[in-house]
Structure 1
Amino acid sequence: MDVLQAHLVRARASGGVFARSVAQPPWGLRLPGTIQLAVHAVIQGRLWLWLDDPRSPLELAPGDLALVRGGPDHFIAHKPNAPCLPPEQFQARHADDERASAHGANVFLCGAYVLSGDVGRGLLEALPPILSLSAAADDPLHDVIGLLSSELAASAPGQQTVLDRLLDVLLVLAIRACFQRSEHAPRWYQASADPRLGPALSAMHADPARPWTVPELAAVSGLSRAAFARIFQLALGEAPMQYLTEWRMTLARDHLRAGELTLAQIGARTGYASPYAFAAAFRRHHGVPPGQWRHKEMTSPGEPTMR
């Protein structure tokens, strides 16, 4: 299992909010920063996107895609610094625009990708605040945007499932394109492409329950123990066992939130020989035992989303 897949397989869309909008200028839309990951794709016309400062807008043309990470509110409009309405008022104001003449209208897809758990948050944190991509006609992103637009224009059974899976594909393609730009790629992604480290990283993510040792991981990568440990530390900023423990704890937190497994089962899936060993490791890492952590998470209010 490659490292990106290990993150994505646990970060699938579920009930993502998505819509196809047609708006005659003047128009502007304000979207709240509570949205984990907003997605905008331009079908027709040009629009502008900005965060807090309208003096530094990003222009988007037909075929362009933008992903906006949660944080501050963000704005899209037919021109920079245009007045922007919240989603409900925007929809009411432009409800009749699709039935009017399409000449001069902006057509765009706008939505929210809902991720859950620490694995999903880890992916979001690896993205820049705004990721802008241009999809050429032969780019798979172009095809996915077209499929999303067609699906949203129809009303067929199972539409939400289709939208969720298309959003999954859209996110994978966008993240892959983003990380191929070295200035945006997180350390773990860059290291996974290094033939000296990639095999060991893939092995850890494929079988986190295995009682790995540094010599075993070094052998997977075809290096001596000392060389492997040194290269790993330089590339990822932490020792191999520290990286493995962090990943195991990330998986453990997601399992605890899901509430479907016992503590013993979670411990076994994350590489601990007994519930006691798992509880001790979790407590060292988080300051509280896993059962107490789970109870607190289940009784705390969830993250707000655009619903």
Structure 2
Amino acid sequence: MDILQEHLVRARASGGVFARSVAIAPWGLRLPGTIQLAVHAVIQGRAWLWTEGGDSPLELRPGDLALVRGGPDHFIAHEPGALCVSPEDFRIQHAADEEKLDPRAAIFLCGAYRFAGDIGAGLVNALPPVLSIPSRIDNSIHGVVEILSRELAGAEPGRQTVLDRLLDVLVVLGLRTGLASSANAPAWFRGASDPRLSRALQAMHEDTCKTWTVEEMARLSNMSRATFARIFQEVLGGPPMKYLTDWRMTVARDLLRTHDTPLIEVAERVGYSSLYAFATAFRRIHGQPPGRWRQLESAAVEGTLTH
């Protein structure tokens, strides 16, 4: 399993609302910033996308893909500054546009994606607020967009399963392209792309509970301990053992937040031989023991759900 794949699995990525729209100008759609990751692709015509208080509007042409990170509301319309309405009002206003077969109509796809926990948030936060991937940059994205459009326009058996899988593919392709071009790409992505470090990093991620040493990591990378430590510091911005501890704490937080896993099992799954050793490391980083941290997180979630 490569490291991006592992992050996607741990983030429990899942699609939300996904729709194909046909709209004759004038049209405009306002989408809330509560969407963790929005996905937009144009099939026919043109569309303009911008965020509230953001940079200049971005033009989307057929085959282009745009990923929009949660934050301020964002807009997609036939021209910059057009009046934009909620998805509910948009559907009512343009319900009959597809039947008119107007060649000037815009056809576009909009999706909402969500990720769980710190690992998922880290994936999304590594992207810029708006990521544009023109079709000329990644032909595979263009092909997936075309298939998605055909599936959304039809009503074949198993349609929803096909749509879910295609949306997964589209988001992964977009994330991969976005992370590769991002100045804020996470350290693990930079390291995984470096052939000198990728083997050791993958081994650490695949076997988090192993009692790792820098010497073992260096052997996997066919380097001396000193050379490995120096290159690791240069590429990932910190020493190997700190990276390993940070990753273990990230996994531990997600286990504490989303599972009823006993604390001793959490400790073992992230490489600590005893609950005491795990609790000491956790307290040093988070200022409180893991059991108390879990209680506070659970209370915060319950408070959000009741308001």
| TM-score, length basis structure 2 | 0.91
When structure 1 is superposed on structure 2, of 76-85 and 133-142 the one drifting more is: 133-142
Offset, 1:237: 1.1
Partner of 2:258: 258
Which one has a larger percent helix, Structure 1 or Structure 2? 2
Cα displacement (A) at 1:56: 1.0
Task: Describe the shift of the 1:148–1:258 C-alpha distance in structure 2 as closer, same or farther (beyond 3 A).
Answer: same
Residue in structure 1 matched with residue 141 of structure 2 by the alignment: 141
How far does residue 298 in structure 1 lie from its aligned partner after superposition? 2.2
The 5 Å alignment of 1:160-171 reads 160-171=160-171
Q: How does 1:157-196 map to 2 (within 5 A)?
A: 159-181=159-181, 183=183, 185-196=185-196
Find the aligned partners of 1:100 and 1:286 in 2 and give their Cα distance: 59
Displacement of 1:197: 1.3
3-state SS of the aligned residue for 1:191?
helix
1:297: which partner in 2? Answer: 297
Aligned CA distance change for structure 1 residues 251 and 157 (closer, same or farther; 3 Å)? farther
Deviation at 1:92, TM superposition (A): 1.5
Distance 1:294 1:175 in 2: 30
Structure-to-structure mapping, 1:119-138, within 5 angstroms: 119-136=119-136
Q: Report SS of the residue matched to 1:98.
A: helix
Name the residue aligned to 2:232.
232
2:204 alignment counterpart: 204
Structure-1 separation of matches of 2:137 and 2:250:
38
Q: Name the SS for the 1:30 alignment partner.
A: strand
CA drift of 1:108 comes to 0.4
Gaps of 5+ in 2: none
How far does residue 170 in structure 1 lie from its aligned partner after superposition? 1.1
Sequence identity percentage: 61
Residue 206 to residue 112, structure 1, CA distance change in 2 (3 Å): same
Residue 84 and residue 287 in structure 1: after superposition, are their counterparts in 2 closer, same or farther (change >3 A)? same
Structure 2 distance, partners of 1:156, 1:298, is 42
The residue identity in structure 2 corresponding to 1:88 is E
More moved, 148-157 vs 233-242: 148-157
Unaligned runs of 5+ in 1: none
Larger relative contact order (Cα-Cα within 8 Å, sequence gap ≥ 6): 1
1:22–1:108: 8 Å Cα contact kept in structure 2?
Answer: yes
Cα pair 1:69 1:127 within 8 Å, conserved: yes
Task: Determine the structure 1 residue equivalent to 2:71.
Answer: 71
Moved more, 294-303 or 42-51: 294-303
Are residues 295 and 55 of structure 1, via their aligned partners in 2, closer, same or farther at CA, if it must alter by over 3 Å?
closer
User: TM-score with structure 1 length normalisation?
Assistant: 0.91
Output the CA distance in 2 between the equivalents of 1:190 and 1:49.
29
Query: Does 2-11 or 295-304 show the bigger shift?
Result: 295-304
Question: What amino acid is the match of 1:251?
Answer: V
Q: Deviations over 1:208-229 (max 9, x none)?
A: 1101011111111111111111
Deviations, residues 255-298 of structure 1 (Å, cap 9, x unaligned):
11222422121111110112222222222221122222222222
Aligned residues of 1:37 and 1:67 also touching (Cα < 8 A): yes
CA RMSD, 1 decimal? 2.2
Deviations 1:107-137 (A, max 9, x none): 1000111111111111111111111112259
Q: How does 1:216-231 map to 2 (within 5 A)?
A: 216-231=216-231
Which amino acid in structure 2 is aligned with residue 268 of structure 1? E
The structural deviation recorded for 1:17 is 1.2
Q: Distance in 1 between matches of 2:117 and 2:156?
A: 30
